[in-house]
Structure 1
Amino acid sequence: MTDPRAELQRICKEIIGNSDERPHVGVSNAPMGGTDMNIHSPDMDREPTRAEAEAALTLLRRWAGDVTAEEVATLDPLVSRLIPGQEVSNYPALARAYPDAFEVDDAYKASMPDLQNGPASLIRGAQQQIQHVGISNFRLPIRFHTRDNGDLTLETSVTGTVSLEAEKKGINMSRIMRTFYKHAEETFSFEVIERALDAYKTDLESFDARIQMRFSFPMKVDSLRSGLSGYQYYDIALELVESAGVRKKIVHLDYVYSSTCPCSLELSEHARQFRGQLATPHSQRSVARISVLLENGGDVLWFEDLIDRARAAVPTETQVMVKREDEQAFAELNAANPIFVEDAARLFTEQLQLDTRISDFRVIASHQESLHSHDAVSVLTEGKTFAAESIDPRLFQSLFHIG
């Protein structure tokens, strides 16, 4: 292979000549692979002309195209990017094998960039406070206490957020998870959630914060007549919100029931009575999302207590274990409790108002019609906590429960 230094000198002569007034390449007797090749000029302080810059670029490209990548990297890794077609190349070549033996020490950690804790000058967009920023749906097993003094370990989805001041770039989101894991072995209650919230507020230096925990709570229910029993699963969420120094404890419950249309029931009976025509009223699976704010300092509101309130309001809960006698009983139960979506909201409200442990509340009911190609919905709130003029566009879509 041709000596690259000699070739570089030859190209230089070809492009810009060998006059003493022009830059020229000087080559020492260093062995191949040495680095003492230099470009000399009698007047290095003057500004080079564009023609000289173009000549130098052409020189570098021709030289780099004829030598190995290692030789280019020895001169300067950036030279490789001057070669047409290799503008984004990255020399020297990077290691491709995972470094199992590499260990991170304090000095290395201190050298690592941390953009989220950078200065306000790194903020993109409007420099305003963010009310909620954090992580959603990290899952872990959590132990919950039940009304009958037992414990259940349930897969729980956790959402944790904090407020972010206008002059701060961002947060280290992994701190929310790390803080929560410190309490993961405890049997959870709102008191434990409060300790977790206190910890990650301190870690993240935030004023406001929120924790929400979602899980599916099993409760054994009896069939209507056959004596069988099975587990009904209830979607429940616990929410602890702190805003402007005020904390609120909220419980959300999805209660699934059957709704028989009162109008359809009467029309079916009319067809039987006046025309001897068999007819059946339409009924459908329906969902109520009940959200309650707990009174500060009040007694414990067990999950089972809230479920009992919902069942007392609308007893036509969907069934788990069913034999023929249970199916007949369910038809009779629906006929005894026909219900419009307006009725549902008010019946749930009536029960919630009886419980002194509950302050503000909201009832969202969705009757997923078997007669219509649309659903019937209602929203009823009491108190300021859940009052809102705007509704999430996907709110009612989230009420579908798939078996």
Structure 2
Amino acid sequence: MRDVQNQVDARGIAIQHVGIRDAHLPFLIKTKDGGFQSVLARIQFTVELPEKYKGTHMSRFLEILTPWSQKPLAEPEMDTMLEDALRRLDAQAADVELAFKYFVEKKAPVSGRMSLLDYDCRFVGRKQAGEPLVFTLGVDVPFTSLCPCSKEISDYGAHNQRSICRVRVRFAPGHDCILIEDLASLVEAQGSSPIYPLLKRADEKYVTEAAYDNPKFVEDILRDNVLALRKLDGIAWFSVECENFESIHNHNAYASHEENVQ
């Protein structure tokens, strides 16, 4: 059959990203205990398209992805996946992003009741021909924040809210990326208090008082995360976004920062 995509295009425009978006496939993600968690990922997979080609071959993206859907997936596997895309699609650069829910077991602080907390995570890989993989791990971490100003000026109580910190990290070549559980734990510790899916009354009392004893502005949470991330061995770059879903305003408090470490 005639290969229309491979026909020459005369407009002289190379396309930076062309491919598929909102494909869904299962993958296996390595857990801290050495096992694997099955996740359902929402996928964006693209390549650079040279100006000489009319189009790319969309079916090849799924042909590349599908064999990985029941295999453990991390940086080395994404490197292989993207190398395959460069070769099969005659491209100089390829990008893939896998967004998924990842569940971590949480133990309530007093009752010890176990439950599962979900984190929005993403694996992002970029591969240029002849260059190492650039891998980014992203985790969105929820927690409680309590306002220092509210505590200072009030005779009793202080307003608090659920907050989220969106962290993206890259590690230098030769250094293993941090595990999802460890990154989530590090970020969570910078808030006023962790959150838990399941709390009994004694647990609720504990976390309420823990937040009251540890008030933080969004700026405090951001700066504490920056200091914590800088201490990670082998980290090359990170970005942090902190957002407090305010309980006394109809807007949110927000702060962000990114930096190259090495």
Aligned to 1:336: 213
Residue in 2 that maps onto 1:378: 255
* Per-residue CA distance 1:83-142 (angstroms, 9 max, x = gap): xxxxxxxxxxxxxxxxxxxxxxxxxxx2xx543222213x5xxx3222111111211111
**Which of the residues 228, 237, 240 maps onto 2:122?**
237
Is 1:263–2:152 an aligned residue pair?
A: no
- SS of residue matched to 1:258: strand
Residue of 56, 66, 75 corresponding to 1:190 = 75
Count residues with an aligned counterpart: 261
C-alpha deviation, 1:317, in angstroms: 2.2
| Structure 2 residue 209 is the aligned partner of structure 1 residue 323 | no
Equivalent residue for 2:66? 181
Rounded to whole Å, the distance in 2 between the matches of 1:128 and 1:215 is 34
Contact kept, 8 Å, 1:301 with 1:357, in 2: the verdict is no
2:238 aligned with 1:361: yes
Displacement of 1:281 after TM fit? 1.5
The structural deviation recorded for 1:185 is 2.6
CA 247–384 in structure 1, closer or farther in 2 if over 3 Å, else same:
farther
Higher RCO structure (Cα 8 Å, ≥6 apart) = 2
1:156-235 map, 5 Å: 156-235=41-120
Scaled by the length of structure 1, the TM-score of the pair is: 0.62
3-state SS, counterpart of residue 105 of structure 2: strand
Separation of aligned partners in 2, 1:318 and 1:305: 16
The worse-fitting range, judged by mean Cα deviation, of 307-316 and 345-354 is 307-316
Once residues 119 and 254 of structure 1 are traced to their aligned partners in structure 2, the CA distance between those partners, rounded to angstroms, is 43
In the alignment, the residues of structure 2 paired with residue 246 and residue 219 of structure 1 have an alpha-carbon distance, to the nearest angstrom, of 31
Deviations 1:189-211 (A, max 9, x none): 21111111111111110001111
Q: Provide Cα deviations, 1:123-173, integer angstroms capped at 9, x if missing partner.
A: 5xxx32221111112111111221111111111112111111122211111
Structure 2 match to 1:345? 222
One-letter amino acid of the structure 2 residue matched with residue 312 of structure 1: A
Residue 139 of structure 2 is aligned with which of 224, 235, 253? 253
Q: What amino acid is aligned across from residue 299 of structure 1 in structure 2? A: D
Partner of 1:301: 178
Q: Which runs of 5+ in 1 are unaligned?
A: 1-109, 273-278, 386-403
2:8 matched residue in structure 1:
119
1:384: Cα distance to partner?
8.7
Work out whether residues 28 and 39 of structure 2, in 8 Å CA contact, stay in contact via their aligned partners in 1: yes
Please list the CA deviations of residues 345-387 of structure 1 after superposition, one character each: whole Å capped at 9, or x if unmatched: 11111111111132110001111111122111111111299xx
Structure 1 residue 280 displacement after superposition? 2.9
RMSD of aligned residue pairs (Cα, Å) = 1.8
- 1:155 to 2:40 alignment: yes
Listed as ranges, the gaps of 5+ residues in structure 2 are none
Corresponding residue SS for 1:115: coil
Q: Deviations over 1:261-293 (max 9, x none)?
A: 11011111xxx3xxxxxx432111111100001
**1:142 corresponding residue in structure 2:** 27
Q: Residue 161 of structure 1: SS of its match in structure 2?
A: strand
Asked if 2 retains the 8 angstrom alpha-carbon contact of 1:137 and 1:159, the reply is yes
- Deviation of residue 219 (structure 1)? 0.7
In 2: Cα distance, 1:376 partner to 1:243 partner = 38
What secondary structure is seen at the aligned counterpart in 2 of 1:305?
helix
Aligned sequence identity (%):
28
**Which whole-Å CA distance do the structure 1 matches of 2:28 and 2:192 have between them?**
29
Asked if the contact 1:369–1:376 (Cα under 8 Å) also holds between the matched residues in 2, the reply is yes
Q: Which residue of 155, 158, 165 maps to 1:281?
A: 158
The one-character-per-residue Cα deviations of 1:317-337 (angstroms, maximum 9, x if unpaired) are 222111111111111111121
Preserved CA contact (<8 Å) 1:238 1:249: yes
Higher helix share: 1
Task: Name the one with the larger strand percent.
Answer: 2
Contact 1:312 1:351 in 2 (8 A): no
CA contact (8 A) 1:239 1:251 kept: yes
1:89 aligns with none
- Structure 1 stretch displaced more, 165-174 or 228-237: 165-174
Please tell me whether Structure 1 or Structure 2 has the larger radius of gyration of its CA atoms: 1
